[in-house]
Amino acid sequence: MKKALWLGLIALSLWGVEGFNGKSTLLILPSPSGTMVLADRNISVVPHPTHPTKGLAIIPIDYEAPLGERKLTWVNPAGTVEMNVMVKQGVYPTETLTVEPSKVTPPPEALARIASEKAQAEAIFAHVTPTRYWDKPFIRPLDSAITSVYGAARLYNGTLKNYHSGVDLRARTPIPILAVNDGVVVLTQERYYCGNTIIIDHGEGMYTSYLHLSRFDVHVGDRVRRGQPIALSGATGRVNAPHLHFGMTVQGIKSDPLDLITQINTLFTKEPQ
C-alpha cells in the first residue's frame, strides 16, 4: 500500500466519523475496494463517481439506531482498518395527522395484504444490484414546497404510529413526477398505505420510491433516465391531501432523501481529499 494511502487511513481511524440517525454518512476512501462493516451490515466500497481511483462508502444509519460510538471496519485487500462512528441524534419534528380511521387501525382483512406488501418491499430493498446506473448528480422528483420533512415523529389520530420515512412535496393537482436519476423500474403497484407506488433501482443498493401517484407512465423493467416523467402525482393510499411522498433506501435502510441527494451531489463539485 502507498504511503499516502496509509496516511489517509491513519487520519480516518484517529479522527473517527460522525453520523446522525436517519441520515447517511459518506466516506471517501483511498481505494475503491473491500467492504465496510457496521454492526452486522456489510457495505461495499464502490468507486467515487468523479474520481474512480478513490473509494466511496455510503453508510446509512437507521432512524432507530442506538446513539453513541460504534465500530466501523474497512475490510480491504491491503488489510483491515478500524475506525469509530459517533452516532448523534438528528433534529426531527413531531407531527399530528388526522386520517381515515381504517388507515390507522387497519381492518383485520387488510392485515395479510399489509404484511405481504411490507415483505415484498423489504425483499426489493435487500437486493444489491452491483451495477451503478447513474453517473450524474441527482435532481428532485418535482419542483415544489416541502410539506413534511423526513424523520418527523408521527401521531395518527392521537396515536404514535411511526416516523416519516421520506419527504412530502406539495402537489395539489396531478403533475408529472420525474425520475431523480437513471435506473431501472422494479415496482409499479397499488399498495394499501402507499397507494400507487413506483420504486426505481439505481444500483449498488440504492432505491428511490414515489408514492400516492394517480397514474403510472412506466412499467417494471423499464430503464429510466434522470428527469424522465414516470407518473402523475395523486392522493392514493394513506393521505390527507394530494402530495408526493419521496423516499430513498440505501442498503435496506430508509435514509433522509434530500440530505442524501445533497451529500451525493457534493461529490460532483468538491475535490476529494
> Rule CB under 5 A: which residues touch Zn ion?
168, 245
What minimum distance in Å lies between the beta carbon of 183 and Zn ion? 21
Measured from the CB atom, the residue of 165 and 251 that comes closer to Zn ion is 165
217's grid cell: 407512465
The least CB distance from residue 148 to Zn ion, in Å, is 6
- d(C-alpha 4, C-alpha 74), whole Å: 17
**Minimal distance, residue 166 CB to Zn ion, in Å:** 5
The Cα–Cα gap between 5 and 234 comes to: 50
Residue 61 dihedral angles phi and psi, to the nearest 5°? -115, 125
Q: CB-based burial of residue 42 (10 Å sphere; 0-12 exposed, 13-18 middle, 19+ buried)?
A: middle
Of 245 and 254, CB closest to Zn ion: 245
Residue of minimal CB distance from Zn ion?
245
Which residue lies nearer to Zn ion by CB, 26 or 97? 97
CB of residue 140 vs Zn ion: minimum separation in angstroms? 15
Question: With respect to Zn ion, which residue has the nearer C-beta, 125 or 133?
Answer: 125
Closer Cβ to Zn ion, 166 or 205, answer by number:
166
Closest-CA residue to 165 (of 207, 123, 127, 128): 207
Report, in Å, the least distance between residue 165 CB and Zn ion.
Answer: 8
Q: Please, are residues 168 and 243 in contact by the beta-carbon 8 Å criterion?
A: yes
Q: List, in order, residues 6 or more apart from 270 with CB less than 8 Å away.
A: none
